[in-house]
């Protein structure tokens, strides 16, 4: 199912500067959605990693939710070079033609460029930067936090832990644990059929063995995408609890 504009939660843009921007990245300008308070700053930065569906209305709303808490929130379209993921009606075609053809190395480079863009605006404080993400974007939280130790924190919602190695996606989150210097809060549903509980428990054990500060929270009655309020598997209580966990984690780590 490719999402459309309708959603359960709608965060107004009043009092915010919110809208489309262009991020210079590796010779091209990639589209992004940016939201921040109308006055004040510089604001802490939150990079928002989208699902496989791209930067659609739900992801834009996430940016506005963070902006209302005082963040410079920006969601770059990390599939932009391959097409418009938000406009692809067929999920299988989307995955094969866009997602699998997007190299992890390119995504990481584009996230670097997005941070540089945010800093260049004068409205964002690059010394207080974090990343969050959902599903595919949650996976990229793990990988980007291993790449960029300057981040203060990461928050990953149900990021896949084992997609299988591929030439363009050579590493899975468990592979990067030894390199991880950024504390990540990762949240999963125990009933997630895409990310089995055994994988989650194995990741917990690997983090513990490495002495990592990162933490995994499992919601026992939730499945995949339990925070995604536009989808039928949305769990309001677990969604609210995970949002409180996420914002608390960011504040505790100086973001």
Burial of 82 (0-12, 13-18, 19+ CB in 10 A): middle
The number of helices, as runs of H, and strands, as runs of E, in the chain is 6, 8
Instruction: Take residue 186 and report the two structure tokens written for it.
Output: 């990762």
Alpha-carbon span 248 to 255, nearest angstrom: 10
Instruction: Take residue 67 and report the two structure tokens written for it.
Output: 């902006």
Q: Of residues 77, 110, 192, 238, which has the active-site annotation?
A: 192
Instruction: For residue 50, indicate whether it is catalytic.
Output: no
Alpha-carbon span 91 to 177, nearest angstrom: 30
Instruction: Take residue 162 and report the two structure tokens written for it.
Output: 């084992």
Instruction: For residue 77, indicate whether it is catalytic.
Output: no
Cis before 100 (ω within 30): no
**To 10 degrees, what angle do helices 104-120 and 136-147 make?**
70
Cβ atoms 133, 141 nearer than 8 A? yes
Q: Of residues 135, 145, 147, 253, which has the active-site annotation?
A: 135
How do 153-157 and 184-189 pair as beta strands? parallel
Q: Of residues 50, 147, 224, 253, which has the active-site annotation?
A: 224
Instruction: For residue 192, indicate whether it is catalytic.
Output: yes
Instruction: Take residue 181 and report the two structure tokens written for it.
Output: 């210097």
Alpha-carbon span 203 to 220, nearest angstrom: 17
**Active-site residue numbers?**
135, 192, 224
């Amino acid at each position: 199912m490719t999402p459309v504009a309708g959603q359960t939660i709608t965060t107004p843009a009043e009092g915010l500067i919110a809208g489309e921007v262009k991020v210079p990245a590796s010779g091209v300008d990639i589209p992004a959605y940016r939201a921040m308070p109308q006055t004040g700053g510089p604001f802490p930065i939150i990079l928002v990693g989208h699902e496989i569906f791209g930067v659609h209305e739900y992801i834009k709303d996430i940016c506005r939710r963070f902006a209302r808490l005082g963040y410079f929130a920006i969601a770059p379209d990390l599939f932009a070079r391959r097409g418009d993921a938000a406009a692809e009606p067929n999920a299988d075609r989307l995955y094969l033609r866009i997602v699998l053809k997007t190299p992890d190395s390119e995504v990481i480079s584009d996230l670097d460029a997005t941070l540089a863009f945010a800093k260049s605006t004068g409205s964002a404080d690059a010394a207080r930067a974090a990343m969050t993400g959902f599903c595919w974007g949650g996976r990229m939280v793990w990988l980007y936090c291993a790449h960029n130790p300057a981040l203060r924190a990461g928050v990953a919602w149900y990021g896949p832990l084992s997609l299988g190695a591929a030439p363009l996606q050579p590493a899975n989150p468990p592979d990067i644990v030894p390199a991880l210097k950024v504390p990540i809060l990762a949240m999963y549903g125990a009933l997630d059929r895409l990310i089995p509980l055994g994988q989650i428990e194995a990741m917990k054990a690997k983090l513990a063995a490495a002495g990592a500060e990162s933490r995994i929270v499992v919601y026992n009655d939730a499945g995949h995408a339990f925070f995604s309020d536009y989808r039928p598997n949305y769990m309001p209580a677990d969604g609210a609890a995970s949002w409180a966990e996420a914002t608390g984690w960011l504040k505790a780590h100086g973001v």
